[in-house]
Structure 1
Amino acid sequence: MISRSDLRVSLRERRRALSADQQASAGKMLCDNLSVRPELTNSQHIAIYIANDGEINPDVLRDFLWNSGKQCYLPVIAQGGKGLLFVEYLPDTPLVLNRYGIPEPHFQAEREIAPEKLDVVLVPLTGFDEAGRRLGMGGGFYDRTLAFTRFSEKPILIGLAHDCQRVEAIPVEHWDIPMAGIATDRKYYSVP
């Protein structure tokens, strides 16, 4: 089986190869596939992300959530750099670049929500398989921050990816946090 690092390189190249038109179309189809799911329609506090490095772009979905009266949150790398904090994200929220060049809100404690109080976390993926196993970027931020979800029903974790990032099998490690489902531009994969 291919190593996780080799698989990560290959899948990142695959998503980066998508044209701007393909990316825009994928973001719209992602919204179409996910916006009708009860996991979102029955939720109020939803963590989302800003696309980077060819990730499927959830901007259309984010706008749909805002227009539906949902509260959105963005991840912010915690002081010390080991985990994530989630900060409310509004249309006028000022963003700064973190150490990876990814926009995130300037941290304000009064706009933070504890991860346990989120209803859904939309997690960017580098790769996935139909069993719901995921491959992230390798930093472990989501795995460390959301490790408690192994013993909790909330928040619901849904991975987001381009369908071209699906592979036969993802090699897993003991620290990998499982997803409840994976949404792509083509379909929603319910995890058994």
Structure 2
Amino acid sequence: MLPTESRSTLRKYFRQQRNALSNAQQQLASVQLLKQCKSLGIYQQAKTIACYLAQDGELSLTPLIEDAWHRGKDVCLPVLHPFAKGYLLFVRYHPNSTLQANRFGIPEPVINLPDIIPLEEVNLIFAPLVAFDEQSRRLGMGGGFYDRTLAPVLKNALETHICGVAHDCQKVETGLKSDRWDIPMQQIITPSKIYRAS
């Protein structure tokens, strides 16, 4: 699969690739991903991390979330912003959080004002993706939610660290084309390797 293919074609192909993984492969990938993340100083030092709940074959962060709780870190999840269309809020997630499905069918915490965590207070964000390349460029689902929400990280030079998360099979062998609004990842983390932005 070449990056010269349309983005919609790439998305379809790599979604099929990750959905073709067996439950055993998915579970092993989650454990291996946790090992990779535990080797990162930024993860060890982070007090607040943003994760996601896996859907559509995405690499599950459940072991990572449980490890973060065990270490006393605050964990938050992306929630569709109720007033700003196309944007996300980060809402604190704990073992007793009440979840509800959003309009895409994705579970997210019910919004309570004290649980909303401002972007500038999130030290590390683990972002899902559909495909990536060696230069840590990320191809998302096409909605632009992360790009719009994370734009202040660049604009305001926030210290928030952004890592893409993917299965190894989601790697494009040659470079992906970037649009000017695409938010770069500092790293892409897979079960077998950490790719750093050049």
1:35-54 CA distances to partner (integer Å, 9 max, x unpaired)?
12011001101000000000
SS at match of 1:113: coil
Matched position secondary structure for 2:52: coil
Asked if the contact 2:152/2:158 (under 8 Å) is kept, the reply is no
- Structure 1 residue 143 and structure 2 residue 143: aligned? no
Partner of 1:70: 73
CA distance in 2, matches of 1:98, 1:154: 29
Separation in 1, partners of 2:171, 2:56: 17
Paired residue secondary structure (1:150): helix
| In 1, Cα distance between equivalents of 2:101 and 2:129 | 20
Aligned sequence identity (%): 42
Alignment counterpart, residue 129 of structure 2, candidates 125, 132, 144: 125
User: What is the identity, as a one-letter code, of the residue corresponding to 2:29?
Assistant: A
- Distance in 2, matches of 1:15 and 1:185, equals 13
Q: TM-score, normalised by structure 1?
A: 0.97
Aligned match of 1:99 = 103
1:32 is aligned with what amino acid?
Answer: K
* One of 11, 14, 20 as aligned partner of 1:8: 11
1:53-84 alpha-carbon deviations (Å, 9 max, x no partner): 00000101111111111110000000143100
Report the equivalent of 1:157.
162
Residues 26-37 of structure 1 aligned to structure 2 (within 5 Å): 26-37=29-40
Distance in 2 (CA, whole Å) between partners of 1:15 and 1:154 is 31
Matches within 5 A, 1:147-186: 147-151=151-155, 152-167=157-172, 168-186=174-192
Q: Which letter does structure 2 place at the counterpart of 1:41?
A: Q
Aligned residues: 192
Q: 1:115 aligns with which of 119, 122, 133?
A: 119
Contact 2:120-2:158 within 8 A present in 1 as well: no
Mapping of residues 15-26 of structure 1, within 5 Å: 15-26=18-29
Separation (CA, whole Å) in 1 of partners of 2:158 and 2:5: 32
Instruction: Give ranges in structure 2 of 5+ residues lacking alignment.
Output: none
Amino acid at match of 2:193: K
1:100-143 CA distances to partner (integer Å, 9 max, x unpaired)? 11110011111101111110110001010010110001110000
Which residue identity lines up with residue 78 of structure 2 in the other structure?
Answer: P
- How many angstroms does 1:191 deviate by? 1.4
Deviation for aligned residue 1:153: 4.1
Q: Which moved more, 1:142-151 or 1:53-62?
A: 142-151
Over aligned residues, Cα RMSD in angstroms? 0.9
